Amino acid sequence: MRLVLWVLFLFAAAVGIVYVAQFNSGSVLFNVPPYKVELTINNFFILLIVAFFIFYVLLKILARILGFSFYFRRKRINDRTLVGLKAFFEGKYDRAQKAAASALRLNSSPIINGINAALAARAAHKLEDYTARDEFLAASEEVAPGEHTLRLITQAELLLEEGRHKEALDALHSLYSLGGLQSITALQLELRAQQMAQNWDAVMDLVNILANRYPYGKGSIEQLKHHAQQESIKKNSTNLDLLNKYWHSLNSMEQLDSRLAATAAKGYIALNDMATAQRVIEQSLDSKLDNELITLYSKCLGNSVSWQIQRAENWLSKNPNNAELLLTLGKLCTYCELWGKAQNYLEASLSIEPSRAAHLALAQLFEKLDKRELASDHYHKGLGFSLQKQTI
């Protein structure tokens, strides 16, 4: 339809020009000293139209040439970018770095420049050429000034892999200063950095944020949270007030957790607060027996060992074949000089599950009873367990 309209327009223009030419007897004089050129008005219009078409054709040719040049340049950039990406994922990091650097020198759009700078930096990092890596990241800031997220995420991740968590946190804080909702990737990187920095309160905050925003496996979230809580207890175990404050900040279910209770009990024992250690262990063991807590229970030796024996015997009535519980009862009875009960419990523990600890406890008991041959025999058997473990 457009072609038909153009043809009709040209025919109409031709008819109009011929009609006007019949009645036009004027002329156009060009005075260019020392020359003078005189053209009839009709010839002038014809030359003007011809010049216009020649100019139009030349302009189209020039545009076509420039377009081809731009096309081939863009194709070179895209090809080198793709070669670099393919080489990187194939593990050919040297080739990936060269291809990305070559594409970067062609200076494409900021997005493509940012991608190639990040790719070259990652490839250089894999080659452990950290100087080149930092140079590519600096170049990214110049050739792709608007691609802050790409550059800072790349920088933080690579610094973390190098173990430089403080600088990685600085990069992430620079990203946060730009505002907006931060990506899951950025939060995960900060989580790693805070773990390396042992900032366990910050780790807990990030875990809670990730739990709400990311379909993380529930098990993974609980594991991260659990580890952060354990490390926080250890961190606060240098001061009784700090340990009390942190322990009481946990909810009742968390305080019953055997791993957390064991970590807290160790802290209280180290601070010589046996009563609190005993209480922490008893609360957890009432909920669920745990061998580590049972072992720690025998180390909470204070003014209430008789009470501890009663509690342990109550647990034993529900779990009569627990070798660790029998061993703990043997140790507690030894402390109270209940020699017969102590020997019975220790021998029962050995009959269920022989262990180095039970042999040593019996050896120490027989030493106190001045039964040196029996003590020596159990020391020898306990040593055998130690040697066996070293061989394995």
- Return the CATH number at 357: 1.25.40.10
Q: Does residue 74 fall inside a structural domain?
A: no
**Amino acid letter, 79:** D
Last residue of a domain, one of 251, 274, 303: 303
- Nearest to residue 250, comparing CAs of 278, 218, 275, 283? 283
Last residue of a domain, one of 303, 332, 356: 303
Displacement of CA 320 from its chain's centroid (Å): 46
Least confident of 25-29, 137-141, 307-311: 25-29
Q: Does residue 117 fall inside a structural domain?
A: no
Q: Do 245 and 299 fall within a single domain?
A: yes
Displacement of CA 200 from its chain's centroid (Å): 15
Q: Do 298 and 341 fall within a single domain?
A: no
Q: Does residue 279 fall inside a structural domain?
A: yes
pTM here is 0.69
CB 234 within 8 A of CB 267: yes
pLDDT in tens, 35-58: 666 666 666 667 767 776 676 666
Q: Does residue 207 fall inside a structural domain?
A: no
Arithmetic mean of pLDDT, 134-140: 92
Last residue of a domain, one of 255, 279, 303: 303
Q: Does residue 245 fall inside a structural domain?
A: yes
CB 118 within 8 A of CB 84: no
Domain count for the chain, please give it. 2
- Cα–Cα distances in angstroms (integers) from residue 4 to residues 7, 8, 12, 15, in the given order: 5, 6, 12, 17
User: What is the span of the domain harbouring residue 340?
Assistant: 316-384
Q: Does residue 192 fall inside a structural domain?
A: no
Residue 48 burial (CB < 10 Å; 0-12/13-18/19+)?
exposed
Percent of the chain residues topping a pLDDT of 70: 80
* Long-range contacts, 359-366 (Cβ 8 Å, 24+): 359/385, 361/327, 361/330, 361/331, 361/334, 362/330, 364/334, 365/330, 365/334, 365/339
For residue 162, the model assigns a pLDDT of 93
Q: Does residue 376 fall inside a structural domain?
A: yes
Does pLDDT of 313 surpass 90? Answer: yes
Q: Does residue 280 fall inside a structural domain?
A: yes
pLDDT in tens, 211-221: 887 665 667 88
Q: Do 244 and 282 fall within a single domain?
A: yes
Strand, coil or helix: 36: strand
d(CA 173, CA 169): 6
In the structure, what pLDDT confidence band is assigned to residue 8 with cuts at 50, 70 and 90?
A: low
pLDDT in tens, 151-187: 999 999 999 999 999 999 999 999 999 888 888 889 9
